[in-house]
Amino acid sequence: METTDWLLDSDPALRWQVMRDLLDAPANEVETERSRIAREGYGATLLAHQGQDGYWNGDEWGENGSRKSVLWTLASLRRLGVLPADPLVLEAVERVRSSVTWHLWDDLPYFHGEVEPCINGGVLAQNAYFGVLGDGATRLVQRLVDEQLPDGGWNCQAPHSAVSSFDSTLCVLEGLLEYQRSVTDPEPAVAAAREDGERYLLERSLFRRKSTGEIAVGRYLNFSFPPYWFYDILRALDYFRDAGGPADPRLHPALEELESRRGADGRWIAGITWPGEVYLELDAPHGEPSRWNTLRALRVLRWAESP
Protein backbone atom coordinates (compact mmCIF):
# COMPACT_ATOMS: atom_id res chain seq x y z
CA MET A 1 0.00 0.00 0.00
CA GLU A 2 1.31 3.46 -0.91
CA THR A 3 2.21 5.64 2.07
CA THR A 4 -0.52 8.19 1.38
CA ASP A 5 -3.19 5.50 1.02
CA TRP A 6 -1.97 3.94 4.25
CA LEU A 7 -2.28 7.29 6.02
CA LEU A 8 -5.79 7.80 4.67
CA ASP A 9 -6.81 4.34 5.88
CA SER A 10 -7.18 5.67 9.41
CA ASP A 11 -9.15 7.88 11.78
CA PRO A 12 -10.87 11.11 10.62
CA ALA A 13 -8.53 13.05 12.91
CA LEU A 14 -5.58 11.88 10.86
CA ARG A 15 -7.27 11.82 7.46
CA TRP A 16 -8.23 15.48 7.41
CA GLN A 17 -4.64 16.52 8.17
CA VAL A 18 -3.32 14.27 5.39
CA MET A 19 -5.81 15.83 2.99
CA ARG A 20 -4.86 19.37 4.01
CA ASP A 21 -1.11 19.07 4.52
CA LEU A 22 -0.03 16.47 1.97
CA LEU A 23 -2.70 16.35 -0.73
CA ASP A 24 -3.85 20.00 -0.91
CA ALA A 25 -7.44 18.78 -1.04
CA PRO A 26 -10.23 21.36 -1.54
CA ALA A 27 -11.06 23.17 1.69
CA ASN A 28 -14.67 21.98 1.74
CA GLU A 29 -13.58 18.35 1.52
CA VAL A 30 -11.06 18.86 4.31
CA GLU A 31 -13.68 20.47 6.56
CA THR A 32 -16.20 17.72 5.85
CA GLU A 33 -13.68 15.14 6.98
CA ARG A 34 -12.69 17.23 9.98
CA SER A 35 -16.31 17.56 11.08
CA ARG A 36 -16.41 13.80 11.72
CA ILE A 37 -13.85 13.91 14.54
CA ALA A 38 -16.34 14.71 17.29
CA ARG A 39 -18.62 11.88 16.21
CA GLU A 40 -16.31 9.10 15.06
CA GLY A 41 -13.14 7.44 16.24
CA TYR A 42 -10.59 9.00 18.57
CA GLY A 43 -12.30 12.35 19.10
CA ALA A 44 -15.73 10.88 19.81
CA THR A 45 -14.23 8.40 22.27
CA LEU A 46 -12.41 11.11 24.22
CA LEU A 47 -15.46 13.38 24.34
CA ALA A 48 -17.66 10.53 25.54
CA HIS A 49 -15.52 10.01 28.64
CA GLN A 50 -16.21 13.48 30.05
CA GLY A 51 -18.33 13.59 33.18
CA GLN A 52 -21.29 15.92 33.61
CA ASP A 53 -19.16 17.81 36.15
CA GLY A 54 -16.81 18.81 33.32
CA TYR A 55 -13.93 16.59 34.42
CA TRP A 56 -12.31 13.67 32.72
CA ASN A 57 -11.68 11.02 35.38
CA GLY A 58 -12.33 13.61 38.10
CA ASP A 59 -8.87 15.04 37.47
CA GLU A 60 -7.83 18.41 36.12
CA TRP A 61 -4.18 17.56 35.51
CA GLY A 62 -3.00 14.02 36.16
CA GLU A 63 -1.08 14.33 39.41
CA ASN A 64 -0.34 10.60 39.54
CA GLY A 65 0.83 10.39 35.93
CA SER A 66 -2.59 9.56 34.49
CA ARG A 67 -3.43 11.02 31.09
CA LYS A 68 -7.15 10.64 31.86
CA SER A 69 -7.57 14.26 32.85
CA VAL A 70 -8.95 17.56 31.62
CA LEU A 71 -5.54 18.93 30.63
CA TRP A 72 -4.36 15.99 28.56
CA THR A 73 -7.73 15.19 27.01
CA LEU A 74 -8.18 18.75 25.77
CA ALA A 75 -4.56 18.71 24.60
CA SER A 76 -5.23 15.58 22.55
CA LEU A 77 -8.47 16.95 21.13
CA ARG A 78 -6.60 20.05 19.98
CA ARG A 79 -3.88 17.97 18.31
CA LEU A 80 -6.54 15.83 16.65
CA GLY A 81 -8.03 19.03 15.24
CA VAL A 82 -11.57 18.65 16.54
CA LEU A 83 -13.70 21.56 15.33
CA PRO A 84 -14.06 24.07 18.20
CA ALA A 85 -17.44 25.21 16.86
CA ASP A 86 -18.93 21.71 16.84
CA PRO A 87 -21.89 21.69 19.29
CA LEU A 88 -20.53 18.60 21.08
CA VAL A 89 -17.20 20.36 21.58
CA LEU A 90 -18.82 23.62 22.67
CA GLU A 91 -20.80 21.73 25.32
CA ALA A 92 -17.72 19.91 26.58
CA VAL A 93 -15.65 23.10 26.81
CA GLU A 94 -18.46 24.98 28.54
CA ARG A 95 -18.65 22.26 31.20
CA VAL A 96 -14.93 22.70 31.79
CA ARG A 97 -15.19 26.49 31.88
CA SER A 98 -18.05 26.55 34.35
CA SER A 99 -17.01 23.76 36.71
CA VAL A 100 -13.36 22.66 36.59
CA THR A 101 -10.82 24.19 38.97
CA TRP A 102 -7.20 23.61 39.96
CA HIS A 103 -7.55 21.99 43.37
CA LEU A 104 -3.88 22.46 44.22
CA TRP A 105 -3.86 26.15 43.31
CA ASP A 106 -6.57 27.90 45.32
CA ASP A 107 -9.32 26.46 43.11
CA LEU A 108 -8.43 28.75 40.22
CA PRO A 109 -10.75 28.24 37.23
CA TYR A 110 -9.22 25.75 34.82
CA PHE A 111 -8.77 28.17 31.94
CA HIS A 112 -6.87 30.58 34.21
CA GLY A 113 -4.04 28.06 34.44
CA GLU A 114 -1.79 27.33 37.42
CA VAL A 115 1.91 28.09 38.11
CA GLU A 116 4.14 25.96 35.84
CA PRO A 117 5.02 27.41 32.41
CA CYS A 118 4.80 24.04 30.66
CA ILE A 119 1.26 23.49 31.96
CA ASN A 120 0.23 27.10 31.43
CA GLY A 121 1.51 27.06 27.85
CA GLY A 122 -0.76 24.11 27.17
CA VAL A 123 -3.74 25.75 28.86
CA LEU A 124 -3.18 28.97 26.91
CA ALA A 125 -3.16 26.96 23.67
CA GLN A 126 -6.47 25.41 24.71
CA ASN A 127 -7.92 28.81 25.69
CA ALA A 128 -7.12 30.17 22.25
CA TYR A 129 -8.04 27.08 20.23
CA PHE A 130 -11.39 26.50 21.94
CA GLY A 131 -12.27 30.21 22.05
CA VAL A 132 -12.19 30.69 25.82
CA LEU A 133 -10.55 34.11 25.83
CA GLY A 134 -10.90 36.62 28.64
CA ASP A 135 -9.38 37.05 32.09
CA GLY A 136 -7.84 33.59 32.04
CA ALA A 137 -5.96 34.16 28.80
CA THR A 138 -4.87 37.62 29.95
CA ARG A 139 -3.48 36.15 33.17
CA LEU A 140 -1.65 33.39 31.35
CA VAL A 141 -0.08 35.64 28.72
CA GLN A 142 1.15 38.15 31.29
CA ARG A 143 2.54 35.44 33.53
CA LEU A 144 4.33 33.64 30.72
CA VAL A 145 5.87 36.83 29.33
CA ASP A 146 7.05 37.80 32.83
CA GLU A 147 8.53 34.35 33.47
CA GLN A 148 10.71 34.24 30.37
CA LEU A 149 14.34 33.66 31.37
CA PRO A 150 17.29 35.75 30.16
CA ASP A 151 18.41 33.01 27.71
CA GLY A 152 15.05 33.32 25.93
CA GLY A 153 13.27 30.19 27.12
CA TRP A 154 11.24 28.97 30.06
CA ASN A 155 11.72 26.39 32.80
CA CYS A 156 9.17 24.89 35.19
CA GLN A 157 11.94 24.71 37.79
CA ALA A 158 12.50 28.49 37.82
CA PRO A 159 13.52 30.35 39.94
CA HIS A 160 15.58 27.38 41.16
CA SER A 161 17.05 27.00 37.68
CA ALA A 162 18.53 29.95 35.81
CA VAL A 163 18.63 28.11 32.47
CA SER A 164 15.74 27.18 30.26
CA SER A 165 14.27 23.79 29.44
CA PHE A 166 13.58 22.60 25.89
CA ASP A 167 10.35 20.98 27.15
CA SER A 168 8.93 24.02 28.92
CA THR A 169 10.01 26.38 26.15
CA LEU A 170 8.19 24.50 23.40
CA CYS A 171 5.03 24.15 25.50
CA VAL A 172 4.97 27.93 25.99
CA LEU A 173 5.74 28.68 22.34
CA GLU A 174 2.83 26.52 21.20
CA GLY A 175 0.52 28.42 23.55
CA LEU A 176 1.74 31.86 22.48
CA LEU A 177 1.41 30.95 18.80
CA GLU A 178 -2.16 29.74 19.24
CA TYR A 179 -2.97 32.90 21.21
CA GLN A 180 -1.50 35.20 18.56
CA ARG A 181 -3.72 33.58 15.96
CA SER A 182 -6.85 33.91 18.02
CA VAL A 183 -6.82 37.65 18.76
CA THR A 184 -6.97 40.52 16.29
CA ASP A 185 -4.39 42.70 18.01
CA PRO A 186 -2.01 40.63 20.16
CA GLU A 187 0.30 42.46 22.52
CA PRO A 188 3.74 43.26 21.00
CA ALA A 189 5.30 41.54 24.00
CA VAL A 190 3.85 38.22 22.84
CA ALA A 191 5.59 38.38 19.46
CA ALA A 192 8.84 39.41 21.15
CA ALA A 193 8.61 36.54 23.64
CA ARG A 194 7.97 34.04 20.86
CA GLU A 195 10.90 35.35 18.83
CA ASP A 196 13.26 35.00 21.80
CA GLY A 197 11.91 31.54 22.64
CA GLU A 198 12.37 30.38 19.06
CA ARG A 199 15.90 31.78 19.07
CA TYR A 200 16.66 29.72 22.18
CA LEU A 201 15.77 26.51 20.31
CA LEU A 202 17.34 27.53 17.00
CA GLU A 203 20.68 28.40 18.60
CA ARG A 204 20.76 24.80 19.80
CA SER A 205 19.68 23.28 16.45
CA LEU A 206 16.57 22.09 18.34
CA PHE A 207 18.40 19.30 20.19
CA ARG A 208 22.03 20.14 20.95
CA ARG A 209 23.79 21.79 23.86
CA LYS A 210 24.90 25.28 22.93
CA SER A 211 28.15 24.85 24.84
CA THR A 212 29.36 21.55 23.36
CA GLY A 213 27.12 20.68 20.41
CA GLU A 214 26.32 17.31 21.98
CA ILE A 215 22.77 15.94 22.01
CA ALA A 216 21.20 17.61 25.03
CA VAL A 217 18.90 14.75 26.07
CA GLY A 218 18.57 11.39 24.33
CA ARG A 219 14.77 11.32 24.52
CA TYR A 220 14.60 14.37 22.24
CA LEU A 221 15.06 11.85 19.42
CA ASN A 222 12.08 9.77 20.58
CA PHE A 223 9.03 10.66 18.49
CA SER A 224 5.85 9.90 20.42
CA PHE A 225 2.24 10.90 19.84
CA PRO A 226 0.64 12.54 21.66
CA PRO A 227 3.71 14.24 23.13
CA TYR A 228 2.07 15.58 26.33
CA TRP A 229 4.70 17.93 27.81
CA PHE A 230 7.68 15.98 26.48
CA TYR A 231 9.97 17.61 23.92
CA ASP A 232 11.26 15.98 20.76
CA ILE A 233 12.63 17.37 17.50
CA LEU A 234 9.66 16.24 15.42
CA ARG A 235 7.28 18.13 17.69
CA ALA A 236 9.59 21.18 17.53
CA LEU A 237 9.92 21.03 13.74
CA ASP A 238 6.15 20.74 13.42
CA TYR A 239 5.82 23.86 15.56
CA PHE A 240 8.09 25.86 13.24
CA ARG A 241 6.18 24.55 10.22
CA ASP A 242 2.91 25.55 11.83
CA ALA A 243 4.28 29.02 12.61
CA GLY A 244 4.83 29.57 8.89
CA GLY A 245 7.51 31.27 6.85
CA PRO A 246 10.59 29.66 5.31
CA ALA A 247 12.61 27.10 7.22
CA ASP A 248 15.46 28.71 9.16
CA PRO A 249 18.89 27.30 8.15
CA ARG A 250 19.50 26.45 11.82
CA LEU A 251 16.83 23.75 11.49
CA HIS A 252 18.95 21.74 9.05
CA PRO A 253 20.62 19.44 11.64
CA ALA A 254 17.21 18.50 13.04
CA LEU A 255 15.78 18.01 9.55
CA GLU A 256 18.69 15.75 8.64
CA GLU A 257 18.13 13.75 11.81
CA LEU A 258 14.44 13.43 10.96
CA GLU A 259 15.17 12.31 7.40
CA SER A 260 17.67 9.72 8.64
CA ARG A 261 14.90 8.01 10.57
CA ARG A 262 12.71 7.37 7.54
CA GLY A 263 12.35 3.64 6.93
CA ALA A 264 12.92 1.88 3.62
CA ASP A 265 9.13 1.79 3.21
CA GLY A 266 8.96 5.60 3.46
CA ARG A 267 7.46 5.53 6.95
CA TRP A 268 8.58 6.50 10.43
CA ILE A 269 8.16 4.16 13.39
CA ALA A 270 6.39 4.88 16.67
CA GLY A 271 8.55 5.95 19.57
CA ILE A 272 8.40 4.86 23.18
CA THR A 273 5.01 5.84 24.57
CA TRP A 274 5.11 8.07 27.62
CA PRO A 275 3.78 6.37 30.77
CA GLY A 276 0.34 6.95 32.25
CA GLU A 277 -3.16 5.53 31.96
CA VAL A 278 -5.02 6.56 28.81
CA TYR A 279 -8.51 6.16 27.45
CA LEU A 280 -7.15 4.84 24.17
CA GLU A 281 -3.84 4.51 22.36
CA LEU A 282 -3.66 7.12 19.62
CA ASP A 283 -0.54 5.74 18.00
CA ALA A 284 0.96 2.37 17.06
CA PRO A 285 3.04 0.34 19.53
CA HIS A 286 6.71 1.20 19.85
CA GLY A 287 8.74 0.10 16.84
CA GLU A 288 5.80 -0.33 14.48
CA PRO A 289 5.04 2.07 11.60
CA SER A 290 3.41 5.20 12.98
CA ARG A 291 0.82 7.09 10.99
CA TRP A 292 1.11 10.15 13.22
CA ASN A 293 4.89 10.32 12.99
CA THR A 294 4.81 9.69 9.24
CA LEU A 295 2.20 12.40 8.66
CA ARG A 296 4.07 14.94 10.77
CA ALA A 297 7.46 14.10 9.28
CA LEU A 298 6.22 14.28 5.69
CA ARG A 299 4.53 17.62 6.17
CA VAL A 300 7.59 19.04 7.92
CA LEU A 301 9.89 17.93 5.11
CA ARG A 302 7.45 19.20 2.49
CA TRP A 303 7.43 22.61 4.17
CA ALA A 304 11.20 22.71 4.61
CA GLU A 305 11.79 21.86 0.95
CA SER A 306 9.31 24.39 -0.41
CA PRO A 307 10.74 27.60 -1.94
Q: What is the pLDDT along the chain (307 residues), one digit of tens a residue?
A: 799 999 999 999 999 999 999 999 999 999 999 999 999 999 999 999 999 999 999 999 987 789 999 999 999 999 999 999 999 999 999 999 999 999 989 999 999 999 999 999 999 999 999 999 999 999 999 999 999 999 999 999 887 888 999 999 999 999 999 999 999 888 999 999 999 999 999 999 999 999 999 999 999 999 999 999 999 999 999 999 999 999 999 999 999 999 999 999 999 999 999 989 999 999 999 999 999 999 999 999 999 998 7
Report the first-to-last Cα separation within the chain, whole angstroms: 30
In angstroms, rounded to a whole number, what is the distance separating the alpha carbons of residues 3 and 300? Answer: 16
Beta strand 101-102 with 108-109 is: antiparallel
What per-residue confidence (pLDDT) applies to 90? 98
pTM over cut 0.95: yes
What per-residue confidence (pLDDT) applies to 83? 98
Count CB-CB contacts under 10 A for residue 126: 26
What per-residue confidence (pLDDT) applies to 186? 87
Whole-number Cα distances in Å, 199 to 58, 166, 182: 39, 12, 23
DSSP one-letter string for 139-197: HHHHHHHHT--TTS-B-TTTTS-SS-BHHHHHHHHHHHHHHHHHSSS--HHHHHHHHHH
Residue in 137, 134, 157, 138 with CA at minimum distance from that of residue 147: 157
Q: Of all helices (H) and strands (E), which one includes residue 42?
A: helix 41-48
What per-residue confidence (pLDDT) applies to 158? 80
